[in-house]
Amino acid sequence: MGEVATPVVVAVDGGGSKTDAIALTLDGRVVGRAAGPGTSPHFIGVEAAVAQIDELVREVASGHPVAQANIYLSGLDLPSEVQIFATAVTTVAWSNDTTVVDNDLYALIRSGTSADNAVAVVCGTGINALGRRADGAVARFAALGTISGDWGGGTGLGESAIWHAARDTDRRGPSTSLTAAIPGVFGLATVAEVTEGIHLGRIAYGDLGLLAPLVFQHSDDGDAIAGSLVDRQGSEIAIMAISCLERLDLLDSEVPVVLGGGILANRHERLWVALESELRRRAPKAVISHVTAPPIVGAALLALESAAAPAASLDQAIRELS
């Protein structure tokens, strides 16, 4: 008889542009890692996302039986979206009754804290937040863009930058140095050409995120419009955290606020000043935790916890993933 393969737990963290997967034994040893393209159902659809995740899980498991799988994806914002994806993933061989499917903010929270009361805000391509309380209560957002009250992230910053540039061009608004800089990002000559390109589909709406670095650069160079956008972004990150704390009656408690995502990664001074100022003013007991470790670390810890792995296994996983 051949040797029986060791069971593994598998964790997946999927975003709009990249997906990470990892397999660990129940004692916390990493046995497989893989990365693939984005698996947000908002961008590629549920069927394609399940197929891509199935491929990654099989790759990292590498023949080991999957005892537990935890999948955390951006784009699973509404309870109905979570349920649809959870149902869809039951079609793959490694899925079972304990498979966990949820929003990727849970992975971000766990990357930063194991506290029962916690909030996470991610500001990358878009912006989203989630809060949880020890009794199981959760505060979350639809995160569907402007129609659900959201503003910011790379795409939001880019959209606002071109809005101001368009109004500068036709003199409905104040001048901004962004006007001259934006067209070159897309290899064009004028803001009007960029606007037309977006309208006619020659420029993808998601590519507006390419303008976010310009906003920070021109803010540093003293442009008032760019500076106002950076201020607004910092404040908006804080407001989403404050909303979670208020809805969960945690404003007066020392709660970790875990922050992550590409917009926060470079620790832009003006952004962080606006963020911290708003939090101090309205939630002075909040404790900011900026996570630089990838969310797959949190996803892996959650998968081990779902499999009832002992604390020593979590410690081992942290050592290996660090």
Q: What is the pLDDT of residues 237-279, one digit of tens each?
A: 999 999 999 999 999 999 999 999 999 998 999 999 999 999 9
Tokens representing residue 35 in the block: 């990365």
Q: Using a pLDDT cut of 70, give the percent of the chain over it.
A: 99
pLDDT value of position 42: 86
Q: CA triplet 175, 178, 182: central angle to 5 degrees? A: 135
Residues of the chain with CATH 3.30.420.40: 8-103+293-321, 140-290
164, exposed or middle or buried, with CB in 10 Å at 0-12, 13-18, 19+? buried
pLDDT digits (tens, 9 = 90+) for 110-161: 999 999 999 999 998 889 999 999 999 999 999 988 999 999 999 999 999 9
pLDDT digits (tens, 9 = 90+) for 7-22: 999 999 998 889 999 9
Tokens representing residue 117 in the block: 């009361």
Q: Using a pLDDT cut of 90, give the percent of the chain over it.
A: 91
Q: Is the confidence at residue 2, as pLDDT, over 70?
A: no
pLDDT value of position 322: 82
pLDDT digits (tens, 9 = 90+) for 190-238: 999 999 999 999 999 989 999 999 999 999 999 999 999 999 999 999 9
Per the CB < 8 A criterion, the answer to whether 296 and 22 are in contact is yes
Q: Give the residue-averaged pLDDT of 51-80.
A: 95
**Could you tell me the fold of the domain covering 140-290?**
Nucleotidyltransferase; domain 5 (3.30.420)
pLDDT value of position 1: 44
pLDDT value of position 3: 56
pLDDT value of position 223: 98
Residues with Cβ within 8 Å of residue 13, at least 6 apart in sequence: 19, 20, 21, 72, 73, 104, 107, 294, 295, 296, 298, 299
Question: 280-313: b or e for each residue (b if 16 or more CB lie within 10 Å)?
Answer: eebbeebbbbebeebbbbbbbbbbbbbbebeeeb
Cα–Cα distance between 156 and 233 in angstroms, integer?
9
Q: Report the 10 Å Cβ neighbour count for 2.
A: 4
Provide the mean pLDDT of the chain.
95
Chosen CATH of 8-103+293-321 out of 3.50.50.60, 3.30.70.3270, 3.40.50.300, 3.30.420.40:
3.30.420.40
pLDDT digits (tens, 9 = 90+) for 55-67: 999 999 999 999 9
